[in-house]
Amino acid sequence: MKKKILLIDDDELITMSLEMIINADEDFQVIGKGNSGREAVSLYEELKPDLLLMDIRMADMNGLEAAEEILKNHKDATILFLTTFSDDEYIVKALKLGVKGYLLKQDYKSLPAALHAAIDGQSVFGGAVVDKLPTLMAQSSAGDEFDYRKYDISEKEYEVIQLVADGFSNKEISQKLFLSEGTVRNYLSSILEKLNLRDRTQLAIFYLKNN
């Protein structure tokens, strides 16, 4: 059965192009289209799509506001942003909302793969966005609000999380914490298992969401 995609963008030409790209994949079908955040909210309630692909800057209600409204009522909603803008403020807000990904429109060729990954529960981010993550992590708060103990994370593991979020490699972390690289890898594997995360990028995003 094809996965149902709801497409929201205020540019009609882009909407038509994206619809063609998405429908060309035998696993997907665009079941609805809109051009504002307010339409996104109402169409989501009406159509119950498997994934909402949405722009951010739109009239009436922007994509971030629409995503927040939808996620209030549908905590498991799969929302993927596709936008021209890689503003730090937008990226941070999107991650904190809990959307599945943030892609730039120039990465449209990777869209089918991104849709598959998002529907499978993975977090999806364009290369330009991933490059920004370490800086965004460094700008986030020190972490007093993050109660790592409820995840059974030790103090040393939390130090590893912070350094991963700051963009350090395993080798650099081992030097900073006076540990072997093997020990750092073991810590990282344990952390990912405890938090039910797949990789370092998801771990950095988890840290940002909780600080």
In a structure prediction context, what are the per-residue pLDDT tens digits for the chain, which is 211 residues long? 899 999 999 999 999 999 999 999 999 999 999 999 999 999 999 999 999 999 999 988 999 999 999 999 998 899 999 988 777 788 888 888 888 888 888 878 889 999 999 998 888 887 667 677 767 666 654 444 556 778 888 888 988 998 888 888 999 999 988 889 999 999 999 999 999 888 888 888 888 777 7
Residue ranges with strand state E in the chain: 3-8, 28-34, 51-54, 79-83, 101-104, 124-125
Residue 45: CA count within 13 A, CB half-sphere:
10
Rounded Cα distance, 120 and 41, in Å: 23
Cα–Cα nearest to 29, from 42, 19, 17, 40:
19
What are the domain boundaries of the chain?
Answer: 3-126, 140-209
Rounded Cα distance, 164 and 207, in Å: 9
Q: Is 111 within 8 Å of 181 (Cβ atoms)?
A: no
Q: Is 22 within 8 Å of 2 (Cβ atoms)?
A: no
Residue 22 pLDDT? 95
Do 140-209 and 3-126 have the same topology in CATH?
Answer: no
- CATH class as words, domain 140-209: mainly alpha
Residue 143 pLDDT? 47
Residue ranges with strand state E in 55-202: 79-83, 101-104, 124-125
Residue 116 pLDDT? 92
Residue 145 pLDDT? 54
Rounded Cα distance, 43 and 81, in Å: 16
Instruction: Tell me the pTM.
Output: 0.69
Homologous superfamily of the 3-126 domain (CATH): Response regulator (3.40.50.2300)
